[in-house]
Homo-oligomer: A and B are copies of this chain.
Amino acid sequence: MDTYQKIMVALDLSSESEVVLRKAHLIAGSNADIHLVYVQEPMDNIYVGIVPQSAAFSGLGDLEAQLSEELKHKLTALGDKFNVSPGNLHILHGSPASEIHRFANENEVQLIVIGTHGRKGLQLLLGSTANAVLHGAGCDVLSVKVGAAS
């Protein structure tokens, strides 16, 4: 049995993404195939009930496109820094846990690496993505502690 050769790093593209990525690199086999994945949730999913769902509020699509561009830039910069080839950078759309599971299954990923936050305030909510990913993953999952409470 060899160490992990096909690794998927699920990133939130926050400043803590580098910590997560560095850990993934540390435990990866020397020739490991590392994929960086960001899942963009549709804005009208996130803000349903908060922003008005009428034609009058038509700026959402533009905002989303703008955000998408910015995310692409960030992901590319991370890929450059960690020598991940552009073909291994992926922006997916949908619900994070389901998209991560789908990508892992379709690409026969052996290990999912994901950041998990300390349990305080809003971060408690953010951290739950790691729990959702663990629950129902078909492969091993490394949860990397980021922004831990002191």
**When chains A and B are docked, how far (Å) is the Cα of A145 from the Cα of B136?**
10
Contact between chains at A143 and B134 (CB < 8 Å): yes
Residues A26-56 near B (CB distance < 8 A): 26-27
Does A77 sit at the interface, judged by CB under 8 A?
no
Contact between chains at A140 and B23 (CB < 8 Å): yes
**When chains A and B are docked, how far (Å) is the Cα of A143 from the Cα of B3?**
15
Does A74 sit at the interface, judged by CB under 8 A?
no
Does A71 sit at the interface, judged by CB under 8 A?
no
Main SS class of interface, A: mixed
Q: Mark A114-150, 1 if CB is under 8 A from B, else 0.
A: 0010010000000000110011111111111100100
* Most chain B CB inside 10 Å of its own CB: which residue of A4, A119, A138, A141: A141
Copies in the complex: 2
How many of chain A's residues have a CB under 8 angstroms from any CB in B? 25
In the complex, what's the smallest C-beta–C-beta distance from A43 to chain B, in angstroms? 28
Contact between chains at A22 and B3 (CB < 8 Å): no
In the complex, what's the smallest C-beta–C-beta distance from A125 to chain B, in angstroms? 13
Known: A3-B27, A130-B134. 15 other contacts (CB 8 A): A1-B22, A1-B26, A4-B26, A4-B27, A116-B134, A116-B141, A131-B131, A131-B134, A138-B145, A140-B142, A140-B143, A140-B145, A141-B142, A142-B142, A143-B143
Tell me the A residues contacting B by CB distance below 8 Å.
1-4, 22-23, 26-27, 116, 119, 130-131, 134-145, 148
